[in-house]
Amino acid sequence: MIGSSATEPITVGLFVTCLVDLMRPTVGFATVKLLRDAGCKVSVPKAQTCCGQPAYNSGDNPDTRAIAEKVIEAFEGFDYVVAPSGSCAGMIKHHYPSLFANDPEMRPRAVALAGRTFELVSFLADVLKVENLEAAYDGIATYHDSCSSLREMGVKEQPRALLAQVKGMTLTEAPESETCCGFGGLFCVKYPDISGRMVDAKVDDIIATSADTLLSGDLGCLMNIAGRLHRRGSNIRVRHIAEVLAGMTNRPPLGEPVEKEKPRKEAG
Amino acid sequence: MESTTAAFRENTAKALGDAKLRDALSKLTDGFPASRREAIARLPEFDALRDAARDIKDHVLANLDFYLESFEARVVEAGGTVHWCRTAAEARTAILRTCKTAGAKTVTKGKSMIGEEIAINEHLEEHGIEPVETDLGEYIIQLRHEPPSHIIAPAIHLSKEQVADTFRDKHRHLSPGRSLDEPRALLDEARGELRRKFIGADVGLTGANMLIAETGSIVLVTNEGNADLTYSIPRVHIVIASLEKIVPTLEDATTILRVLARSATGQEMSVYTTFCTGPKRQDDLDGPDEFHVVLLDNGRTGMLGGEFHEMLRCIRCGACLNHCPVYKAIGGHAYGWVYSGPMGAVLIPGLIGLEEAGHLPNASTLCGKCEDVCPMRIPLPRMLRTWRRRQFERRQTSYPSRAGLRAWSLIARRPWLYRLGADIVVAVLAALGRARGRFRWLPLAGGWTQLRDLPAPEEGGTFISRYHLGEHGDGA
Ligand code: SF4
């Protein structure tokens, strides 16, 4: 492995993503735990904010570059950079290098960072080869393949293989697990009616599985789907996959209040 | 055709409220992808064929002048004529002139997206020539004066009941009591009507799925055989094709055919695949006396070597539409012009202007499914982003968006400011959302909360703050 001898632990810089930082810190803590349990030395640079995707997907490349430079600077010293999101990891891995295509100083640094950046679940499965997770979860879960995880980061079997190690959990597949949920960052607020139709189709597909829990590796999709599930009166529990893999499910599911929490007793 | 692309929001609202359209679209977007999947499962070398098809087109595009000139030379040798047209107007003029020289009153037509692009039907009608669409779907939408809603299934937005109503309305000479309940009855009726037109037409106008440089042939791919009757019966055959349709050899054409129908409908081959070369030869039993190819540029050469270069590989299979969740939600008419879906969102701004078509590249989640299924491996999401970048550079992005982005990026570049703001906002939202764990409504979040609840942030502060205070999470 890059930069690590047999005795020295792998160093990982955690890019926690702005959504996890702001909305769901438990995912960050779960990520730290999973990486530490697997023997990594984890650091969380304080200088991190956002990967720049909102600007990038709005065509604002100068601002994206300014943000990306900060990210590159903050994460240069680690063997690996890991994000609990296919979308933000994909941004660093695939789009940073092309952003700096004409910048001889930044381009090699962007390419080097891209080569060391991973989405959490695939990092656990493919690089750390995690087996025998300690976690348990009482429920029937279905997994939503986020578009960036699936198509940019090649994440498909890894979450299933890891979830198979979680005691007490049954995994059931939704036929349309690979179809976009309609989040799309700013898309969902710019074109709410199209996005609404898409998330409704996603919610129909999830409800039809009879699962009581929805998991995924990207918080943006999860907030979108949870929001629509709740609006439609469903009580399917929504969590980031890292929470379940790390056994950190004491906090209520996404969008549920603390008081209501009687863990693992809610019906699907 | 007049575009309604600028009214994208209104078009979308209308489409989303149309229950019949919703049924039709879900049939399409369930049916074609499933057949495609099965067809590909039966062909292990499919991905290798995609690479080969892409390489063929890349090679052609790098040597376009050479292949076009050799195509022309072969067409002329076979007794045909090539009309080089830079613009839609030039192509319309060339077609009209040829029709007039032939003394044409009726022109039968095979389905052609280039025909739609240059609005040839309207042009012919204005000059007293009747164009008759002979592809069933095109025939139906021609009767209804509608544009196609899908590049390979132009009337896919209609139910069979709507088609029956249209036929009753337009075929007044037939018995009003006839039954049109079965698709078969509709087909038979259209066939009866079209048969007379086929026989009586003076000119046949078709598109071409490919042009073959080594032989001067054109390739016609249909499931109805209508293009064959269109080119073989009338005295004059006009082919309208854009210049990127060229491939070097017959062998190359067959490679592309192997990915085309599989990607489009999941068929191994379309029902009719015809290679036409020049006018009727001495011993031929049928075929046209004259063979004209109208070669259209209409902006294509301007795309060569630029950021939309790869789009010229497109073989118009429709796979990107069939698999697009946005297309599935709104259908083809919402895009407001002749193309639709991801390929339309990339092509239309180039053809009618970014000002007019500004919504299209933005109305996408960039989910990547289109690129995933495109047989020619066209990076459609990257191109949608390119349009967004150009809009931003030309200040066509709306002011609130620009201001919002500016503010966000100013904060995102200053971690201390970001931390300060984040901690305050999160504390406030977490406190407000505590009781329900989510919001049904929040100021400035109307786009989100119109259809969704917004999960409240976790209590206790942001991750970065809590982590650096030594917390380990999960109440620990
Ligand atoms: S862009 Fe690709 S998938 Fe879409 S029509 Fe063209 S070739 Fe087919």
For B29-66, the pLDDT digits (tens) are 889 999 999 999 999 999 999 999 999 999 999 999 99
The count of structural domains within chain A is 2
Residues written for chain A: 268
Are B368 and A152 in contact (CB < 8 Å)?
Answer: yes
Pair (A109, A25) in one structural domain: yes
On average, the pLDDT of chain A sits at: 93
Cβ atoms A124, A95 nearer than 8 A? no
Residues B235 and B202: beta-carbon distance below 8 Å: yes
Question: Number of C-alpha atoms within 13 angstroms, CB side, residue A168?
Answer: 11
Question: Which pairs from B88-93 meet CB under 8 Å and 24+ separation?
Answer: B88/B117, B88/B118, B88/B119, B88/B296, B88/B298, B91/B118, B91/B120, B91/B240, B91/B294, B91/B296, B91/B298, B92/B118, B92/B119, B92/B120, B92/B123
Percent of chain B exceeding pLDDT 90 equals 84
Q: A11: helix, coil or strand?
A: strand
Share of residues in chain B with pLDDT > 70 (%): 99
* Confidence bin at A61 (pLDDT 50/70/90): very high
pLDDT value for B405: 84
Question: Is A140 in the same domain as A249?
Answer: yes
Residue (of B345, B380, B353, B356) closest to B151 by Cα position: B345
Which candidate, B188, B203, B235, places its Cα nearest to that of B95? B203
pLDDT per residue as tens digits for the range A192-243: 999 999 999 999 999 999 999 999 999 999 999 999 999 999 999 999 999 9
Residue A264 has pLDDT above 70, yes or no: no
Quick one: residue B2, left, alpha or beta (phi over 0 = left, psi -120 to 50 = alpha)? beta
**Structure-token pair, residue A148:** 């960036």
Rounded Cα–Cα distance for residues B217 and B220 (Å): 10
Angle formed by the axes of helices A192-207 and B8-16, nearest 10°: 30
Q: Can you tell me the distance from the alpha carbon of B444 to that of B450, in angstroms, rounded to the nearest whole number?
A: 11
What is the average pLDDT across B152-176?
A: 94
For residue B400, the model assigns a pLDDT of 79
Q: For chain B, what's the residue count?
A: 476
* Domain definitions of chain B by residue range: 31-296, 414-471
Question: What would the DSSP string read from start to end of B402-413?
Answer: HHHHHHHHHHHT
Residue type at A267 in one-letter notation = A
- Alpha carbon B184 to its chain centroid, in Å, reads 28
ipTM of model: 0.93
Mark which of A125, A146, A181 sits at the end of a domain: A125
Mutation target among B367, B372, B383 for the A interface, most CBs of A within 10 A: B367
Q: Which residue has the higher pLDDT, B433 or A127?
A: A127
DSSP state letter for A91? I
Indicate whether A75 belongs to any domain.
yes
Write the CATH number for A210: 3.40.50.11810
Kindly state whether residues A137 and A263 are assigned to the same domain: yes
Residue (of B277, B316, B308, B341) closest to B61 by Cα position: B308
Chain B CB contacts of A151 under 8 Å are: 367-369, 371-372
From its phi and psi, is residue B24 left (phi > 0), alpha (psi between -120 and 50) or beta? alpha
Helix (H) or strand (E) holding B263: helix B250-264
Token pair for residue A162? Answer: 């890891």
Using a CB-CB cut-off of 8 Å, the residues of chain A touching B454 are 223, 227, 255
What is the fold, at CATH topology level, of the domain defined by B31-296?
Rossmann fold (3.40.50)
CA Rg, chain B, in Å? 26
Cβ count near A77 (within 10 Å): 11
CB atoms within 10 A of CB B395: 9
Atom number of ligand 1 nearest to Cα B264: 8
Which of B376, B380, B382, B384 for mutating ligand 1's site (highest number of atoms within 8 Å of CB)?
Answer: B376
Give the model confidence (pLDDT) of B89-143 as tens digits: 999 999 999 999 999 999 999 999 999 999 999 999 999 999 999 999 999 999 9
Q: Which residue lies with its CA nearest to atom 4 of ligand 1? A: B320
pLDDT, average across residues A46-67: 93
HSE (side-chain half, CA atoms, 13 Å) at B65? 1
Pick from A98, A144, A250, A162: which is nearest to B385 by CA? Answer: A98
Confidence of residue A48 (pLDDT cuts 50, 70, 90): very high
| Confidence band for A2, pLDDT divided at 50, 70 and 90 | very low
Whether residues A54 and A168 fall in one domain: no
* CA-wise closest residue to B238 among B77, B125, B350, B114: B114
Q: Among B69-78, B96-105, B234-243, B399-408, where is mean pLDDT lowest?
A: B399-408
Where residue A261 falls among pLDDT bands split at 50, 70, 90? very low
pLDDT tier for residue A3 given thresholds of 50, 70 and 90: very low
What pLDDT, on the 0 to 100 scale, is given for residue B29?
86
Please say if the pLDDT value at position A188 is more than 60: yes
Res. A6 pLDDT band, cuts 50 70 90: low
Single residue among A102, A125, A148 that ends a domain in this structure: A125
pTM above 0.90, yes or no: yes
Q: Where are the beta strands (DSSP E) in chain A?
A: 11-14, 41-43, 80-83, 117-119, 136-144, 167-171, 213-216, 237-240
Cα A255–Cα A259–Cα A260 angle in degrees, nearest 5 = 65
Q: In which band, very low, low, confident or very high, does the pLDDT at A4 lie, cut at 50, 70 and 90?
A: very low
**What's the gap in Å between B370 CA and the centre of ligand 1?**
8
pLDDT at A266: 44
Angle at CA of residue B410, ends B405 and B415, nearest 5°: 125
The pLDDT, as a whole number, for residue B104 is 96
Q: Which two tokens stand for residue B196?
A: 């007379």
Q: Which of B335, B340, B417, B463 to probe the A interface (max A CBs under 10 A)?
A: B463
Residues A148-158 have a mean pLDDT of 96
Asked whether residue A265 carries a pLDDT value surpassing 50, the answer given is no
Give how far A66 is from chain B: nearest CA, Å: 7
Q: Which of residues 108-147 of A touch B (CB under 8 A)?
A: 147
**A45: containing domain:** 11-125
Query: A257 C-alpha to center of ligand 1: Å?
Result: 46
> In A, residues 214-253, which contact B (CB 8 Å cutoff)?
223-224, 226-228, 230-231, 248-252
Q: What are phi and psi of A104, to 5 degrees?
A: -65, -25
Query: Ligand 1: residues within 6 Å at CB?
Result: B 314-320, 343, 374-376, 378
HSE-up (13 A, CA, CB side) for residue B358: 16
What is the Cα–Cα distance from B105 to B180, expressed in whole angstroms? 31
In angstroms and rounded to an integer, the radius of gyration of the C-alpha atoms of chain A is 18
Which atom of ligand 1 has the smallest separation from the CA of B151? 5
Query: Per-residue confidence at A267, pLDDT binned at 50, 70, 90?
Result: very low
- Give the pLDDT band (50/70/90) at residue B249: very high
pLDDT at position B160 over 60: yes
Nearest Cα of chain A lies from the Cα of B305 at a distance, in angstroms, of 17
pLDDT at B219 over 90: yes
pLDDT of A69 = 96
Q: Is residue A2 part of a domain?
A: no
- pLDDT band, very low/low/confident/very high, at A120 (cuts 50, 70, 90): very high
Average pLDDT rounded to a whole number, residues B295-300: 96
Average pLDDT over residues B313-339: 97
CATH code assigned at A103 = 3.40.50
Q: Which chain A residues contact residue B330 at CB under 8 A? A: 194, 197
Residue type, B295: L
Residue after which a domain boundary falls, among A100, A125, A150: A125
Structure-token pair, residue A214: 């929805």
- Please indicate, yes or no, whether residues A157 and A216 belong to a single structural domain of this protein: yes
Q: pLDDT-based confidence at A54, cuts 50/70/90?
A: very high
Residue A4 lies in a domain: no
- Look at A81-90, A102-111, A152-161, B412-421 and tell me which has the smallest mean pLDDT: B412-421
What pLDDT does B410 receive? 86
Q: Using the beta-carbon criterion (under 8 Å), do A194 and B466 form an inter-chain contact?
A: no
Query: Which atom from ligand 1 is nearest to the alpha carbon of B341?
Result: 4
Mean pLDDT, rounded, of chain B: 94
In a domain, A67, yes or no: yes
Please answer whether residues A64 and A55 qualify as being in contact, where contact means their C-beta atoms are separated by less than 8 angstroms.
yes
Instruction: Collect all residues of chain B within an 8 Å Cβ-Cβ radius of residue A185.
Output: 365
Q: How many helices (H) and strands (E) does chain B have?
A: 22, 12
* Number of alpha carbons in the 13 Å side-chain half-sphere of residue B332: 28
Query: Can you tell me whether residue A247 is helix, strand or coil?
Result: coil
Chain A to chain B Cβ contacts (< 8 Å): 237
DSSP B170-213: H-TTS-TT----SHHHHHHHHHHHHHHHHHH-SEEEE--SEEET
Largest alpha-carbon pair distance within chain A? 57
Dig out the tokens for B52 from the structure: 């080969």
**Residue B245 is encoded by which pair of tokens?**
């349709």
